[in-house]
Amino acid sequence: MNSLSSKQQLLHLLQIQPLELHREFSAIAKTPEAEIMVLAEPEADMAAVADVIETAAPVPVEPYSEPDPELPLSKDVLAAMNEYQPGLQWRLNPGSTEPMLQNGLLVTPSIELLQSVPQKKLLWLCLQQES
């Protein structure tokens, strides 16, 4: 009994509230084991999933390209990157619709699209984000 009260005291001291179970989880927790075993027979379902995965068409991956460092906008972006996000790499993705940061990589739409005022604002916000 003493250990229970010390655990409760520790939870209170650390300001930790016990989690409440969602209704769906509570319903599963109250399900008899026999029903769970019926639900847990994955052999037929797994074979169907494997067939779907094998026949699925591969998702095309659009290659990133490096921006032309001689273009005026590229020079401005590279200068801003060096100032606000040193070490950040920059790639163009023709399929992208707006600038975004992805694991130390700035991915932007084409230079032509990036020249619009809304895109420049989004680019500026990306460069100001914490990496």
pLDDT tens across 8-26, in order? 777 777 777 766 666 766 6
Distance, CA of 88 to CA of 108 (rounded, Å)? 13
Counting every residue written for the chain, the total comes to 131
Helices (H), 14-71: 23-29, 33-39, 43-55
Helix (H, G, I), strand (E, B) or coil at 89: strand
Residue 102 phi/psi, 5-degree rounding, is: -135, 100
Q: Give me the sign of the Cα torsion angle 59, 62, 63, 66.
A: negative
pTM of the model: 0.51
pLDDT tens across 48-91, in order? 666 666 666 665 555 789 999 999 999 999 999 999 889 899 99
